[in-house]
Amino acid sequence: MSRQTVEFSITAAERLNETLNAFLEIDRDGALRRAEEIEKSGNAGPLAGIPIAIKDNLCVKGLQTSCGSKILGDYHPPYNATVIDRLLKAGAVVIGKTNCDEFAMGSSNENSAFGPVRNPWDTTRVSGGSSGGSATAVAAGIVPVALGSDTGGSVRQPASLCGVVGLKPTYGRNSRYGLVAFASSLDQVGVFAREVEDVARVLGVIAGRDPMDATTADVPVPDYTQSLTGDLKGARLGFPRALFGKGLDDEVKNAVESVVDVYRDLGAEIVDVELPNAGYAIAVYYIIATAEASANLARFDGVRYGFRAEDAPELRQMYRKTREEGFGPEVKRRIMLGTYVLSAGYYDAYYRKAQQVRTLIKNDFLKAFERCDAIITPTSPTPAFRIGEKVDDPLAMYLNDIYTVTANLAGIPGISVPCGLSSERLPIGFQLLGPYWSEAMLLKLSHGYEQARPFTERPPISAS
Amino acid sequence: MPITQSDIEKVAQLAHLELGEEELKTFGSQIAEIVNYVEQLNELDTSNVEPAIGGLTPEGAKTDSSREDEVGGSLGQKIALTEAPDPASGHFRVPKVL
């Protein structure tokens, strides 16, 4: 049974990759061998024989980890990320590594050194990013579940643009050991699936304290599937009216407002909430994320792994040439910006200031959550845009993340759930944000909506 | 304060990036635009606000990450060198430093 399922996924991945460019590596032989082993061993783990796709910034022993970058090229990590070890123990079968924006920096997947991922709903459009390959692989029915990473919306936004469910857990819920670091105070491993129940199942497997990642918290991991009761009576849903204004596409606005009506019909109480500092989130995010990235990416210098430039007879010259030739434009831009805001004399004006406003944003949420169990927003201000449309304007690209970056800044969990198609048949998603460790509540609310309004549409580019 | 070409060159040096003329120019104007955008934060009075250093939840901050100082497993020299661009005699070899 598991061999057939895995074979189906691999064949679909191979067949659709020319069109979608969702995978950077497909491990046919390894995955089939493992599927057979699982069948023979009678592994009865919660994910026994389930094919899964992994973003190419998470280390899987034996496969490449390129981070969508030339500087890592065909780097093959000698160890597994903790979340991968946990998936394997539960019986999952990794079928391949998915395309992503270089070092997870981007909202469209156009920053991959290996070409953009294409949206299965319209291949002239972006998949979203940075975990676009994982979102696309699930949306096209290649795999039922996939892992990504979310630093400012990199799981939720592509989930929304591709019409699948995507969860970013609380900061400290999952281990990042073996996830290539982008911005360490924001990064979190997230889960994609077509159905909320599958997200719940995978989260239950990967979550929890890991001695290899000191930021994981000692908080018990419940059986998340138990929370999917369908009973939403008395749940309090916060509605931040001010975020449904300027810059939001009308169709997205209407779709998400209809979701609010569905929740009301399901017995939830809708309460008005305010997030007065949310408008500053992009500015705060692009200071903190780039500052941390400039430090994290200092390790790529051509010494211990990956690419090294030729014709550089002196050490510093070798560093500079390796990084100049190895990194793509968006990564260089962010390293430059991060280096600038941390450079002598500017630290207080930018980084410290941003961390102070981050406190204000966090406090807004803590206050709002005194009155509600979760807050509803759109996930992305528009449906998927066209490939090439925003590449020359980095600031316009950054503004795509307006609804998602707040969760990373505050450390709270967020989930994107599909809620319909636009007039151009492009998926629209809504986002739920909850207090720390409220994944069970977010999954329950998402599942309740999914039961009431199942998203059964399938993209034109699809495995079956 | 406007960002000058020499500021950008200095930042590129600090970041160990050997940028070409074109890149220095494009990044210069793009970074100036982004910095201009983030300066909207100065509208807010944050004189009495603690910075959110670390970004941890209260539960995360409370979690004790210390452990006994015991010898555990490690990759070992051979495996650790398998991905090096230029390993030599059990070391990472680099071009001349001086």
The 10s digit of each residue's pLDDT in B61-96 is 999 888 889 998 899 999 999 999 999 999 999 999
Would you state the pLDDT for residue A123?
A: 98
pLDDT at A392 over 90: no
* DSSP secondary structure of B59-95: HHHHS-------------HHHHTTT-SSEETTEE--S
Instruction: Note the pLDDT of residue A309.
Output: 96
Interface of A with B in 288-307 (CB under 8 A): 294, 298, 301-307
Residue A228: pLDDT above 80? yes
Contacts 24+ apart (CB under 8 A), A25-33: A25/A56, A25/A63, A25/A64, A25/A96, A25/A97, A26/A95, A26/A96, A27/A62, A27/A63, A27/A94, A27/A95, A27/A96, A30/A62, A30/A63, A30/A94, A31/A6, A31/A93, A31/A94, A31/A95, A31/A96, A32/A3, A32/A6, A32/A7
Buried b (16+ CB within 10 A) or exposed e, B36-64: eebeebeeeebeebebbeebbbeebeebe
Whether the CB-CB separation of A128 and A428 falls below 8 Å is answered with: no
With a cut of 80, say whether residue B54 has pLDDT above it.
Answer: no
- Rounded to a whole number, what is the distance in Å from the CA of B83 to chain A's nearest CA? 5
DSSP secondary structure string for all residues of A244-262: GSTT--HHHHHHHHHHHHH
In this predicted structure, the answer to whether residue A449 has a pLDDT above a threshold of 80 is yes
CB contact (8 A) between residue A352 and residue B51 = yes
Give the residue-averaged pLDDT of A71-99: 96
| Long-range contacts at A216-223 (CB < 8 A, ≥ 24 apart) | A216/A172, A216/A173, A216/A174, A216/A175, A216/B60, A216/B63, A217/A170, A217/A172, A217/A173, A217/B56, A217/B57, A217/B59, A217/B60, A217/B62, A217/B63, A218/B59, A218/B62, A218/B63, A218/B64, A219/A172, A219/A173, A219/A437, A219/B59, A222/A440
Inform me whether the C-beta atom of residue B32 falls under 8 Å from chain A C-beta atoms. no
Query: In this predicted model, which residue has the larger pLDDT, B4 or A71?
Result: A71
Pairing of strands A236-239, A374-378: parallel
Whether A42 shows a pLDDT value over 90: the answer reads no
What integer best gives the mean pLDDT of chain A?
96
**Subunit contact B85:A329, Cβ cutoff 8 A:** no
Binning pLDDT at 50, 70 and 90, where does residue B1 land? Answer: low
Question: CA angle at residue A282 from A286 to B36, to 5 degrees?
Answer: 70
pLDDT score, position A190 = 98
Q: Is A358 on the interface with B (CB under 8 A)?
A: yes
A45 in helix, strand or coil? coil
Report the pLDDT value the prediction gives residue A436, as an integer from 0 to 100: 98
Determine the Cα–Cα distance for residues A433 and A353; give it in Å rounded to an integer: 25
The pLDDT of residue A73: 81
Considering Cα of A113, then A60, then A23, then A294, what sign does the dihedral take? negative
Mean pLDDT on A354-367: 97
Of A301, A303, A358, the CB nearest to B52: A358
**Global pTM?**
0.97
Which chain B residues are closer than 8 Å to A350 by Cβ? 38
pLDDT (tens digit, 9 = 90+) per residue, A281-334? 999 999 999 999 999 999 999 999 999 999 999 999 999 999 999 999 999 999
Count Cα atoms within 13 angstroms, Cβ side, for A118: 15
Buried b / exposed e across A425-462, counting CB within 10 Å, b at 16+? Answer: ebbbbbbbbbbbbbbbbbbbbbbbbbeebebeebbebe
- Which residues from B are below 8 Å from A211, CB to CB? 65, 67
- For B87, phi then psi, to 5°, come to -80, 150
Task: Say whether A333 and B95 touch across the interface (CB within 8 A).
Answer: no
pLDDT value at residue A344: 85
Q: What angle do CA A360, A272, A236 make, to 5 degrees?
A: 100
Distance of CA A58 to the CA centre of its chain: 12
- CA–CA–CA angle A448, A450, A452 (5° rounding): 70
Strand partners, A374: A237
Place A40 in a pLDDT band, splitting at 50, 70 and 90.
very high
Tell me how far apart the terminal alpha carbons of chain A are, to the nearest angstrom.
18
β-pairing verdict for A145-149 and A122-126: unpaired
- Cβ of A355 within 8 Å of Cβ of B62? The answer is no
ipTM computed for the complex = 0.95
Q: Is A412 within 8 Å of A405 (Cβ atoms)?
A: no
Mean pLDDT within A29-40: 96
